[in-house]
Amino acid sequence: MAKNIPFDNYLTEQLKDPEFKAGFNAESAKLESAVALMNERERAGLTQRDLAERANVPQSTIARIENGQNTSFDTMSKIAFALGKKLKVEFT
Protein backbone atom coordinates (compact mmCIF):
# COMPACT_ATOMS: atom_id res chain seq x y z
CA MET A 1 0.00 0.00 0.00
CA ALA A 2 1.36 3.40 -0.99
CA LYS A 3 2.02 5.86 1.80
CA ASN A 4 0.32 9.25 1.53
CA ILE A 5 2.51 12.27 2.21
CA PRO A 6 1.43 15.90 2.40
CA PHE A 7 1.93 17.76 -0.88
CA ASP A 8 4.06 20.46 0.77
CA ASN A 9 6.49 17.81 1.99
CA TYR A 10 6.62 16.22 -1.46
CA LEU A 11 7.21 19.59 -3.14
CA THR A 12 9.95 20.53 -0.67
CA GLU A 13 11.72 17.28 -1.48
CA GLN A 14 11.32 17.71 -5.24
CA LEU A 15 12.65 21.29 -5.11
CA LYS A 16 16.00 19.93 -3.94
CA ASP A 17 16.54 18.75 -7.53
CA PRO A 18 18.00 21.74 -9.46
CA GLU A 19 16.37 20.71 -12.76
CA PHE A 20 12.95 20.32 -11.15
CA LYS A 21 13.38 23.61 -9.30
CA ALA A 22 14.25 25.49 -12.51
CA GLY A 23 11.17 24.14 -14.28
CA PHE A 24 8.95 24.80 -11.28
CA ASN A 25 10.16 28.40 -11.01
CA ALA A 26 9.66 29.03 -14.74
CA GLU A 27 6.10 27.67 -14.65
CA SER A 28 5.34 29.61 -11.45
CA ALA A 29 6.42 32.87 -13.11
CA LYS A 30 4.14 32.23 -16.11
CA LEU A 31 1.25 31.38 -13.82
CA GLU A 32 1.76 34.56 -11.78
CA SER A 33 1.73 36.62 -14.99
CA ALA A 34 -1.40 34.85 -16.19
CA VAL A 35 -3.26 35.47 -12.93
CA ALA A 36 -2.08 39.10 -12.76
CA LEU A 37 -3.30 39.80 -16.31
CA MET A 38 -6.65 38.13 -15.75
CA ASN A 39 -7.18 39.99 -12.47
CA GLU A 40 -6.36 43.38 -14.03
CA ARG A 41 -8.55 42.69 -17.07
CA GLU A 42 -11.48 41.69 -14.89
CA ARG A 43 -10.89 44.65 -12.54
CA ALA A 44 -11.15 46.90 -15.59
CA GLY A 45 -14.43 45.20 -16.54
CA LEU A 46 -13.08 44.05 -19.90
CA THR A 47 -13.54 40.85 -21.82
CA GLN A 48 -10.57 39.25 -23.50
CA ARG A 49 -11.88 40.60 -26.81
CA ASP A 50 -12.22 44.15 -25.39
CA LEU A 51 -8.66 44.12 -24.09
CA ALA A 52 -7.31 42.62 -27.29
CA GLU A 53 -8.90 45.40 -29.34
CA ARG A 54 -7.48 48.07 -27.03
CA ALA A 55 -4.01 46.49 -27.14
CA ASN A 56 -4.17 45.81 -30.87
CA VAL A 57 -3.43 42.11 -30.42
CA PRO A 58 -5.53 39.07 -31.31
CA GLN A 59 -7.97 37.86 -28.65
CA SER A 60 -6.20 34.51 -28.82
CA THR A 61 -3.05 36.23 -27.51
CA ILE A 62 -4.89 37.35 -24.38
CA ALA A 63 -6.32 33.84 -23.94
CA ARG A 64 -2.90 32.20 -24.38
CA ILE A 65 -1.28 34.50 -21.80
CA GLU A 66 -4.13 33.91 -19.34
CA ASN A 67 -3.61 30.17 -19.86
CA GLY A 68 0.02 30.50 -18.77
CA GLN A 69 1.75 30.46 -22.13
CA ASN A 70 4.81 32.59 -22.70
CA THR A 71 4.75 35.94 -24.48
CA SER A 72 7.08 38.83 -25.27
CA PHE A 73 7.73 41.93 -23.22
CA ASP A 74 6.54 43.96 -26.21
CA THR A 75 3.14 42.27 -26.12
CA MET A 76 2.87 42.60 -22.35
CA SER A 77 3.75 46.30 -22.65
CA LYS A 78 0.98 46.82 -25.20
CA ILE A 79 -1.48 45.09 -22.90
CA ALA A 80 -0.35 47.06 -19.85
CA PHE A 81 -0.71 50.33 -21.77
CA ALA A 82 -4.20 49.28 -22.92
CA LEU A 83 -5.11 48.78 -19.25
CA GLY A 84 -3.69 52.18 -18.35
CA LYS A 85 -0.83 50.50 -16.49
CA LYS A 86 2.95 50.23 -16.75
CA LEU A 87 4.69 46.91 -17.10
CA LYS A 88 7.06 46.34 -14.19
CA VAL A 89 9.54 43.50 -14.09
CA GLU A 90 11.23 42.63 -10.81
CA PHE A 91 13.93 40.22 -9.83
CA THR A 92 13.21 39.18 -6.26
User: Per residue in 67-86, pLDDT tens?
Assistant: 999 889 999 999 999 999 99
Q: 30 and 68 in contact (C-beta within 8 Å)?
A: yes
Distance CA 85, CA 65 (A): 17
Predicted pLDDT at 90: 85
Distance CA 61, CA 47 (A): 13
Is this model's pTM higher than 0.95 or not?
A: no
Q: What is the pLDDT of residues 9-56, one digit of tens each?
A: 999 999 999 999 999 998 998 899 899 999 999 999 999 999 999 999
Chain centroid to Cα 82, Å, comes to 18
User: Considering only the top CATH level, what class is 46-86?
Assistant: mainly alpha
